[in-house]
Amino acid sequence: MSERTLFIAGNWKMNKTATEAAMILSTLKGEVAQFKGKLNIAICPTFTALDRSVKTAAETNIKIGAQDISVHASGAYTGEISTSMLLDLGVEYVIIGHSERRQYHRETDKLVSEKAKVALDAGLLPIVCLGETLEERETNKTSEVITTQIKGSLAGLTADEMIKTTIAYEPIWAIGTGKTASPAQAQEAHALIRKLLTDTYGVEVAEKVIIQYGGSVKPDNSSELMGQTDIDGALVGGASLDAKVFAELIANAL
């Protein structure tokens, strides 16, 4: 996997209260302490659980991320969360452009790129998500969709900003469905993403960018997926909600 450090993050979506999050993290930090220095680990709980999560994970090898941000710094934007609010809590990562945000909240590539830029300007590390639907894959549009999303969602980022940005390739048809892209299918998509980055930023930058795979990643498939040349980690949904399962997934991936 070249010099890139494996990065496995858990996206808890709209699950777990602050109390429940603290309980899971209390168990998880003991389970993954043995992996310190071997990979980067992050958990992205709900907004209401961020404060407790940061405090529970303090001085461990688990970083905490948010699931979204606003492009606005402050103001009359009811329900929105700014970068300064997240930084004040000690949050380090933020997921941007997840397929569920794109689908249910009509987020566009343009908005995703604006959020990525806002995050980077503030000092947060973005995890930018992209991926095709089942219909798009079945009609051989995967390459076209990925190309469009990469160009649009990362528009305006400098080379230095790109190196700080994680990309999460998540085929929408594999998210929460139990279906997983085969290692070969995932590698093909990741290789295309790396090529697109090379075309825009050059080989040196492209080789440093972490590209995660997301979509029903579990302990029994993490090893083979992470073993692919251009797969540098995972954005994990359901399997990250159980501390022992998530730790097993990580152990198998190393």
Contact predicate 124/87, CB 8 Å: yes
DSSP string computed for 90-156: T--EEEES-HHHHHHS---HHHHHHHHHHHHHHT-EEEEEE---HHHHHTT-HHHHHHHHHHHHTTT
- The domain that contains 92 carries what CATH number? 3.20.20.70
Residue 243 falls inside a structural domain: no
Tell me what pLDDT residue 122 has.
Answer: 98
In this predicted structure, the answer to whether residue 1 has a pLDDT above a threshold of 60 is no
Residue 216 falls inside a structural domain: yes
DSSP string computed for 19-42: HHHHHHHHHHHHHHGGGTTT-EEE
Q: What pTM value is reported for the model?
A: 0.96
Residue 145 falls inside a structural domain: yes
∠ CA 70-50-211, nearest 5°, is 65
Tell me what pLDDT residue 2 has.
Answer: 62
How many Å from the N-terminal Cα to the C-terminal Cα in the chain? 11
Q: Say how many domains are in the chain.
A: 1
The tens digit of pLDDT for each residue in 64-110 reads 999 999 999 999 999 999 999 999 999 999 999 999 999 999 999 99
Cα 5 to the center of its chain, rounded Å: 14
In this predicted structure, the answer to whether residue 252 has a pLDDT above a threshold of 60 is yes
The tens digit of pLDDT for each residue in 135-174 reads 898 899 999 999 999 999 999 999 999 999 999 999 988 7
Residue 201 falls inside a structural domain: yes
∠ CA 34-37-40, nearest 5°, is 95
Report the catalytic residues.
98, 170
Residue 244 falls inside a structural domain: no
Q: Whole domain around residue 37: which residue ranges?
A: 7-236+249-253
Q: What is the mean pLDDT of residues 187-193?
A: 97
